[in-house]
Each structure stands twice: as structure tokens, then as C-alpha cells.
């Protein structure tokens, strides 16, 4: 394909022939320019006009819906069908009826997503705590504005906020609603924009009003003293963390933990969960509990079911006999969403710009915006009174000679000359003259005019007072504080989310404490099979069954809570817990460790031990005649890591290994039937796991260490023959009488 540049054009044009033999030009556009011209406007529209709430606590979709309902006289009126509201809202919001109805559902009292719902609903609106409970269609439900919306629309007709054209320019809609309280902190809100998101949790209305009033009086007020903690619509118990909340209040980012509320019904041996965290659903909790029961991690639960009804949420958990409900709930809090984290990202639009603000900054921004709204309201009222005063001053001018005014009107031949003649006759302006001319005939009496003109002095005093308010931030703040106190008195409700201050003193169930503890016997075969058998089962049948070609290798007595270290031929150590293995019988083959532990392909288990408290040492004997003594604590990790690489040296294959609590005499036997006896105390311990060790036995070429045994477990009758005076040593040839060997089982 040929390329050419046209004169004055910096873009490259690709030229290709078409089917008619003519050449077609395709304009190539740089990707950066495409993003700038096409994607950026979309991204900004999502941020500014869709996903991020503004200082009144509402997104554009919320505001358009509520304002439509306000225009439909649904504040204090009878309910109407939701479909009717949805249809009317489309005059302001062209995004389709489904999106509008979804917005209405979230604001409704029936759905329960807000501490103070803005839509008073009737019918099935689903529930915020249910993932699968669908709401009814809009033709079946009815709505009206909740009484608290009077605080959202107060004085909206008095120029308190700006109005703009709707999408087709035929209607006007407010850019913000003049809320008399910080709704941005009361109504929970969440939105995902392009490149940013917002997640506002709700706070108790009474606490928010108290905090806003306190900040109006003292900008240095300690917010945590009045705004205790977030308050969530679904209730639950908030685990109080002063440091985490302080960080959220300061930066607007962070998280806090909320757990479910429950009660134990002793007579029926069951637990009822009746409040759950706001961030989860009842179905998510039941799915997780069901999975844990199926996997055997929750053996205390007999059944779980959802008994939610008209009275509210209720998840019922039937317990098995002997189950401690407190310990079970501690376990459920650790393993399920019954205890969940609530994230906070206080990202709101301030004058069209997204900003992440702390609580103090949000209240300061709201106060500044509210002060401007009140100043505009007062200014509007002052201008109305000034207009009224101006008219009454004109009326006062004709009070001295009413008959003359009547005579002027009667002597005027043309209607449009009445106003000019009154202006000339009494020295008043056109507006005053028209007001006088429009007075009804029955009101042209001295008593009526005197009553009207007596208002002049009172109006002048009111105007002066309003002018003082406009110019006095202190008085405006007093008005805001008074309105906040009234809102609290009318609409404040008790906290739904209980604050738990002393949760740090509650016992935390660890995995070890939750794991049942009982004695077990372990059997480890040469092929890598492990069996965990209880003493009771072992007494009933003690004859061990092994796979053909397999044989017993190691056995221990342990408890179900013990850890197990498994070493492989790839110099790796796998850490596991005996509780992860099912109890079995002697007649079973057991668990195949490479599969159970998820080892690498072709990797095999060579040896294992129970580390206990990780005191002592591990002895590694290699086929090249070297031995390494490694501190067992080198295999202890702070985290629950399941695999350690470099568990021992890879310079030579492993011949034998021992867990050493007390030192002993070891007999090292080579493939050419030589034996060397030495005391393990002569080996210096190392902290490095993959140390090569020190030479213990010198070997001739083509020979290797084949076996290492504690001396007391051999049939050597004269050990002094094989003891080495110094290491390394070649050892002595084994006598016939000393060559009898017995299979060793390490305890």
C-alpha cells in the first residue's frame, strides 16, 4: 500500500485501490488524538454528570428524579404509580426507564439502602441485604416523597440555587438541591467513574447535625467527640478502632470492620442472625457457610436456612449437640462475611472538580455552600420587600389627595395615558403609577390606604435587618445552626449500628484453638503415603495395609494440632497440619503426599518429622559422606507458608535424616560395607538450611553412604572397632555378625 502526504496536511494518508480501479484514501489518526477527542469527553461526563455525588449528597440521576417528584406535588400528597414518575423523569433524564426506576428503588424506604429514605414507597422494592430478591415492576409499586425531602427543597423557589436548561432546552432543573443538613454525610452513596470511584458511608443524622453545629461555633472542635462512628442502614456491630476512624475522618480514605448481630436460642439449639454488614448479602453469607460445611471446616453446623420475612432479616443456623455458640460465631466471623470491612473513599464534586475530602473538609465545604444559599435566599427576600416598599411609598404620595387621583383618572380620555398622567400629577415612577391605577374602586378609601402605608416603616426595618444578615457571616452561621437543630429535632433517629468499644478484649479464636485436639498415630510409608489413625481405631484393627511394593518407614505418636514437615527429593520442605488430614483406618492406604500437598511433577517425599516447638536440630547425611546439622528453628516461619525451597543442600542426594532432641552415637554404613561410628555432638549446628555440611566418612570412588542408624538400633556388638578418633574417617569393614540390620522406625 502506497502512502503520500497532501500539501498542508501533517497526517499520513494510506492509499489503496478499490474494486473500480479508483484509489481510496484512509486517514490515519494517532491513538493519543483519538483518546483526547473521543474518550476524554466521555470520561469527564461520567465523572461530572453521572457517577460522583456533589455537595448536596446526590448524583444527577437522584436529583432529577426527586425534583420531578417535587414538581408533581408528591411532597405531602398521595402516592402515585412509580411508572408515572419514571415517565415524567425522562423529561430531565434521558437514560431510559430501567435506569430511572433502579435509582428510585435505591432511594426508597422499602429497599432500605439509606438511613433516611427519600422516597416513601408502597409495594415490593426488594432489600439491600439480598442479592436475589428482585423488586416488582414500576407498574405495580407506588411512591411519593418522604417528609424529610422538605429539607431538601426548602426555599428552592427563592433563588437559593442555580437552574439550568434540561437536555432539550424546554425545561429548567436545579444544579443542586438546597439541603438544610449535610445530606452528603447522612445518605450512603457509591459510584464508579472512569479512573476514579466514590464510596460514602452513612452517619447518624443527629450526630452529623451536632457536629456541624459544633464546628460552626468552634472550627477546632474534636469531630470524634460528637460524630462517634459511621451508622449503617443494615445495623450490625461496628468494631471501634480510634486510629482507623481518625484516619478516615482526616483523609477521607480507609476502612472499618462491621460484624453481624446474632442471638442464641437455647431451647432449640440454634443461632439467629438478624443484622449483617452493609457490604455483604444474606446469599453471600449462606454460600460461604455452605462451602465451609461441605469442605469439613465447619463440623458444628447441622443446617443453615434463610427465614427472612416481613419482620426483617433472619438467617437460622442449627447447631450440632455440644457446640459452643460463642466459639462457633468467632469462627464464622473469621471465615465468612459475617464480619466484613466497609471501605471509605469520600470523593465528591466541589464546583465540578472531584476531590477526596475528610469529614472536617466536607463539613467546611458544605457550610460555605449553605452560607451562600442562605445569603441568596435572604437577598431574594430583601429584594421582594424592597419592591413592596417602593409600591407603598407611591401609594403614600396619593394619600394626601385621593380625590385628585380620581379626578386625573376620570379626566384621562385614553387608557394608556392614565399611568403617565398619574406620574406627572404626583411625581411617582411608572411602577408606582401602575400599582395605583390598578387599585380596585372599592379600595379607594382612606382606611385602606392608611393600612397599606402603615406597613412602610415595618418593611424598612425588615429590609435593614435583612441587609445586615447578608453582610454578616456570623448571623448566617446562626441561621444554619438553628435550622440544623430543627432538623435534628424533627428527623433524628437512634443509631442502627452499635459501637463495640471493648472488642479488643474479646478472645480471638485461632486456627489451633478451633481445631479439635486429640491423640493420633501417624504412619509414613516409603512410597510417600501418610495415614492418621486414632488410638481407638488402631485398637480395633492394628494390621497396616500398604500398596504393593510399598513398606512402612516412619511412625509417630502425635496430636491432631501438630505440624508436619515433609522433605522431598527436590530439596523442598512442605509444611502442613495434621488437622488437614482425615482420620482413617489401618486398612486404608492413606493420603498420597505428593498429591495432597500439591508437589511439583515427579517430586517425591523422602522423609518427614513433627517439629513441635521447633527446638532441637535436624541432621542430614548425604551420599557423598558429608553431614549437616541445621537448627530446627530455621524452618519456623511467621506466616502460614506451605512450601520452603532450599530445605537442604543439593550438592549430593540425601541418604538419611534425623530429628535430634538429644545427641546420640550414629553408625554410618557405606555401600562397600564399611561402618563408621561417631557422636553427633561433634557436629556444629548451622543456621543456614542449605549448608553443605562437613565430611564425616571418606569414600572410595563409586561408593556412597547407604544407611545411617543410631548405634543402639544396630546389631553391632563391638562398637569400639568402628569408632573414629577424628573426622573424617574411612571406617572399618563390617563383620558378618554386625551386618544384621533391622528396619528403623523413627519416633
Which residues lie below 8 Å from residue 276, measured CB to CB, with a gap of 6+? 129, 234, 236, 260, 282, 285, 313, 315, 337, 338
Separate counts of helices (H) and strands (E) for the chain: 20, 36
SS3 content of the chain, % helix, strand, coil (to 5): 35, 25, 40
C-alpha closest to that of 367 among 234, 263, 219: 219
| Exposure b/e, 537-556, CB count within 10 A at least 16 = b | bbeeeeebebeeeeeebbeb
- At 468, list the grid cell: 445586615
Rounded-to-integer distance, Cα 237 and Cα 256, Å: 11
Residue 328, Cβ neighbours under 10 Å: how many?
A: 20
Residue 220, Cβ neighbours under 10 Å: how many?
A: 7
Radius of gyration of the chain (CA): 43
Alpha helices for 97-202 (secondary structure H): 97-107, 183-186
Phi, psi at 636, each rounded to 5°: -90, 130
β-bridge pairing 605-609 and 563-568: antiparallel
CA–chain centroid gap for 462, Å, is 52
Q: Please answer whether residues 140 and 123 qualify as being in contact, where contact means their C-beta atoms are separated by less than 8 angstroms.
A: yes
Q: Please answer whether residues 654 and 622 qualify as being in contact, where contact means their C-beta atoms are separated by less than 8 angstroms.
A: yes
Q: Is 435 a catalytic residue?
A: no
Alpha helices for 187-319 (secondary structure H): 205-217, 242-251, 282-294
Rounded-to-integer distance, Cα 159 and Cα 387, Å: 16
Phi, psi at 745, each rounded to 5°: -115, 115
β-bridge pairing 237-239 and 498-500: parallel
Cross-strand pairs, 258: 238, 340
Among residues 39, 42, 140, 501, the one annotated as catalytic is: 140
Catalytic residues: 140
Amino acid at each position: 500500500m502506497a502512502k503520500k502526504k497532501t500539501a498542508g496536511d501533517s497526517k499520513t494518508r494510506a492509499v489503496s485501490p478499490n474494486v473500480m480501479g479508483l484509489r481510496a484514501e484512509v486517514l490515519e489518526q494517532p491513538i493519543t488524538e483519538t483518546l483526547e477527542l473521543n474518550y476524554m469527553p466521555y470520561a469527564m461526563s461520567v465523572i461530572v454528570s453521572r457517577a460522583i455525588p456533589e455537595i448536596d449528597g446526590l448524583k444527577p440521576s437522584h436529583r432529577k428524579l426527586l425534583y420531578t417528584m417535587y414538581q408533581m406535588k408528591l411532597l405531602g400528597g398521595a402516592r402515585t404509580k412509580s411508572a408515572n414518575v419514571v415517565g415524567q423523569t425522562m423529561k430531565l433524564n434521558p437514560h431510559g426507564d430501567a435506569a430511572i426506576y433502579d435509582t428510585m428503588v435505591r432511594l426508597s424506604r422499602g429497599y432500605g439502602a439509606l438511613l433516611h429514605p427519600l422516597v416513601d414507597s408502597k409495594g415490593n422494592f426488594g432489600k439491600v441485604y439480598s442479592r436475589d430478591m428482585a423488586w416488582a415492576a414500576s407498574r405495580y409499586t407506588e411512591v411519593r416523597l418522604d417528609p424529610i425531602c422538605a429539607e431538601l427543597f426548602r426555599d428552592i423557589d427563592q433563588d437559593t440555587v442555580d437552574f439550568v436548561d434540561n437536555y432539550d432546552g424546554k425545561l429548567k432543573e436545579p444544579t443542586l438541591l438546597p439541603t438544610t443538613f449535610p445530606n452528603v454525610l447522612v445518605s450512603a452513596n457509591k459510584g464508579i467513574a472512569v479512573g476514579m470511584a466514590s464510596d460514602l458511608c452513612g452517619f447518624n443524622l443527629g450526630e452529623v447535625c451536632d457536629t456541624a453545629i459544633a464546628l460552626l461555633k468552634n472550627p477546632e472542635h474534636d469531630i470524634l467527640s460528637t460524630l462517634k462512628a459511621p451508622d449503617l442502614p443494615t445495623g450490625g456491630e461496628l468494631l471501634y478502632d480510634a486510629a482507623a476512624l481518625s484516619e478516615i475522618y482526616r483523609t477521607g480514605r480507609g476502612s472499618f470492620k462491621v460484624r453481624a448481630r446474632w442471638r442464641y436460642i437455647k431451647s432449640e439449639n440454634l443461632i439467629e442472625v438478624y443484622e449483617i454488614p452493609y457490604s455483604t448479602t444474606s446469599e453471600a453469607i449462606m454460600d460461604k457457610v455452605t462451602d465451609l460445611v461441605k469442605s469439613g471446616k465447619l463440623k458444628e453446623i447441622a443446617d443453615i436456612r434463610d427465614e427472612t420475612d416481613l419482620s426483617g432479616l433472619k438467617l437460622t443456623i442449627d447447631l450440632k449437640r455440644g457446640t459452643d455458640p460463642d466459639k462457633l460465631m468467632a469462627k464464622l466471623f473469621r471465615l465468612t462475611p459475617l464480619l466484613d470491612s466497609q471501605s471509605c473513599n469520600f470523593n465528591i464534586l466541589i464546583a465540578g472538580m472531584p476531590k477526596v475530602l475528610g469529614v472536617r473538609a466536607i463539613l467546611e465545604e458544605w457550610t460555605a455552600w449553605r452560607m451562600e444559599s442562605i445569603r441568596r435566599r435572604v437577598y431574594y427576600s430583601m429584594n421582594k420587600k424592597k419592591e413592596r416598599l417602593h409600591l407603598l411609598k407611591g401609594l403614600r404620595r396619593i394619600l394626601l389627595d385621593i380625590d385628585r387621583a380620581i379626578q386625573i383618572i376620570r379626566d384621562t380620555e385614553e387608557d394608556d395615558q392614565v399611568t403617565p398622567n398619574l406620574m406627572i400629577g404626583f411625581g411617582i415612577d411608572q411602577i408606582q403609577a401602575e400599582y395605583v391605577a390598578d387599585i380596585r374602586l372599592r379600595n379607594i378609601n382612606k382606611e385602606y390606604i392608611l393600612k397599606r402605608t402603615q406597613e412602610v416603616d415595618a418593611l424598612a426595618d425588615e429590609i435593614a435587618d435583612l441587609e445586615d444578615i447578608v453582610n454578616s457571616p456570623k448571623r448566617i452561621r446562626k441561621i444554619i445552626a438553628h435550622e440544623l437543630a430543627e432538623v435534628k429535632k424533627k428527623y433524628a433517629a437512634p443509631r442502627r449500628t452499635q459501637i463495640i468499644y471493648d472488642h479488643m478484649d474479646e478472645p480471638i479464636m485461632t486456627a489451633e484453638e478451633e481445631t479439635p485436639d486429640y491423640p493420633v498415630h501417624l504412619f509414613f510409608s516409603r512410597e510417600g503415603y501418610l495415614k492418621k489413625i486414632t488410638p481407638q481405631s488402631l485398637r480395633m484393627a492394628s494390621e497396616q495395609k500398604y500398596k504393593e511394593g510399598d513398606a512402612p518407614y516412619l511412625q509417630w505418636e502425635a496430636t491432631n494440632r501438630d505440624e508436619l514437615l515433609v522433605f522431598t527429593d527436590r530439596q523442598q520442605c512442605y509444611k502442613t497440619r495434621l488437622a488437614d488430614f482425615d482420620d482413617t483406618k489401618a486398612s486404608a492406604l492413606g493420603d498420597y503426599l505428593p498429591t495432597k500437598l500439591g508437589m511439583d511433577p515427579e517430586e517425591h517425599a523422602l522423609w518427614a518429622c513433627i517439629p513441635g516447638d521447633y527446638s532441637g536440630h535436624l541432621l542430614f547425611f548425604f551420599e557423598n559422606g558429608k553431614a549437616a546439622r541445621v537448627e530446627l528453628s530455621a524452618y519456623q516461619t511467621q506466616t502460614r507458608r506451605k512450601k520452603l525451597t532450599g530445605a537442604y543442600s543439593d550438592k549430593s542426594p540425601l541418604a538419611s535424616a534425623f530429628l535430634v532432641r538429644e545427641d546420640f552415637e550414629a553408625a554410618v554404613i557405606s555401600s562397600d560395607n564399611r561402618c563408621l561410628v561417631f557422636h553427633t555432638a561433634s557436629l556444629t549446628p548451622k543456621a543456614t538450611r542449605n549448608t553443605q555440611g562437613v565430611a564425616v566418612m571418606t569414600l572410595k570412588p563409586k561408593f556412597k553412604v547407604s544407611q545411617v542408624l543410631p548405634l543402639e538400633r544396630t546389631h553391632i556388638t563391638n562398637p569400639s572397632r568402628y569408632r573414629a578418633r577424628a573426622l573424617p574417617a574411612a571406617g572399618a569393614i563390617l563383620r558378618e555378625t554386625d551386618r544384621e540390620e533391622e528396619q528403623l522406625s523413627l519416633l
